[in-house]
Amino acid sequence: MPLPSRPLLVTADSDLLDDLLRLAAAAGNEVEVASDPAAARPRFLLSPLVLIGADQAVPCLRARLPRRSRVIIVARGAPAGEVWSAVEPLGADNIVMLPEAEPWLIEQFTGRPRPPVISRTVAVIGGRGGAGASILAAGLAAMAVDARHRTLLIDADPLGGGLDLVLGWEEVSGLRWPGLADAGGRVDPPALLGALPHRGDLVLLSFDRKELSGVPAEAMAATLDAAQRGRDVIVADLPRQLDDAAVLALQAADRTLLVVPAELRATASAARTLAQIRPHCDEVALVVRGPAPGNLKPRQIAHTLGLPLAGSLRPEPAMCQGLEFGKPPTTDAKGQLAQLCRRLIDELMSTRAVTA
């Protein structure tokens, strides 16, 4: 699903909405419209400009929509006193009044368009804990680099073991999630990519060993924004319990891979996980990981879940042993994992060539 490239209007005031639509049209700009915070949330962080009607400023504050840049609160006439309390928490740059501010708002609508998205994004999520999603994500990133694609690997699972450990990168210096969270997500895109741990064409955003309850949504939005303009491939390893940041990544993903061990209970757990992720992404495919203690076949699991089968994996003891000593998966570009990841990346990028 492409990220929104149009300004977002948040208001249930029909008269105010008519005014704002007229001003947007005068600027030759199309807009997205949300009548309340719930409708605005999926697009709130990703729209280039957000205009919040005075009628929805306090509801947006109560709904705890995250602070972001380029927010304008718009009122018809003098706003009520309580509206001012929402300015700082929402990060609003201005409160403006119509009709006096109409010429200025037209200028805001005619701001520079969002640069085109040049990347492809794949999200990976485990059907149950320990499914092997992180290893698949790391393998996809490594094979993307092997195919000469500039790649960002995002570790968005705060309860995972850490993709830096999967890659053997725990000593590689660079910005981690806590540092990006402290910046409030307000980082210049090229500077953000340059500040992250990297080796060659692979860039990693992961956690450190300090406590962090989750990934701030505004930091995820800033990361996706930077990567979609500066990387060819984005691989996101997501938690099973979706937070706002994970939802943003799912909405940005061109394809989501659900990793499920070939076990009955894992399949039942994956069905619940799938129900959570389906509303946020259009294309979901299944990767089945062996062994199968009950001889459950990958196609049986795919049929049960109603998903296309993207591939299957058998145990690779040498790879698992190498992970314990800091050897990344697919290091030698051989084995079933490397073959599957190479094919999945080729499919992802061939789709870009068709749709470009």
Q: How far is residue 76's CA from residue 102's CA, in Å, rounded to a whole number?
A: 11
Q: With 50 as the cut, is the pLDDT of residue 335 above it?
A: yes
140 token code pair: 């996809």
pLDDT for 3 equals 45
DSSP secondary structure string for all residues of 276-315: HHGGG-S-EEEEEES--TT---HHHHHHHHT--EEEEE--
Query: Which residues are CB-contacts of 59 (< 8 A; sequence separation ≥ 6)?
Result: 36, 37
d(C-alpha 328, C-alpha 252), whole Å: 26
pLDDT above 70 covers what percent of the chain? 92
For residue 56, give the H/E element and its range.
helix 54-62
pLDDT band at 2 (very low <50, low <70, confident <90, very high): very low
Q: How many residues does the chain have?
A: 356
Q: Is the per-residue pLDDT at 354 higher than 50?
A: no
> Distance (Å, rounded) from C-alpha 201 to C-alpha 148?
8
Taking residues 278-288, what's their average pLDDT? 93
**Per-residue pLDDT reduced to its tens digit, 23-65:** 999 988 889 999 999 999 888 887 889 999 999 999 998 998 8
pLDDT at 229: 79
Q: Is 138:153 a contact under the CB 8 Å cutoff?
A: yes
Nearest to 334 by CA among 143, 166, 137: 143
pLDDT beyond 70 at 213: no
The string of pLDDT tens digits covering residues 142-178 is 999 999 999 999 999 988 888 999 999 988 999 888 8
- Of 143, 111, 131, residue with least CA distance to 29: 111
Kindly indicate the confidence band of residue 117, based on its pLDDT and cuts at 50, 70 and 90.
Answer: low
Q: Which residue has the higher pLDDT, 74 or 321?
A: 74
For the beta sheet containing 71-76, the strands, ordered from the edge strand earlier in sequence to the opposite edge, are 32-34, 8-10, 50-53, 71-76, 92-98
The token pair that represents 265 in the structure block: 């209970």
Q: What is the CA radius of gyration of the chain?
A: 22
Which amino acid is it at 99? Answer: P
Distance (Å, whole) CA 116 – CA 101? 30
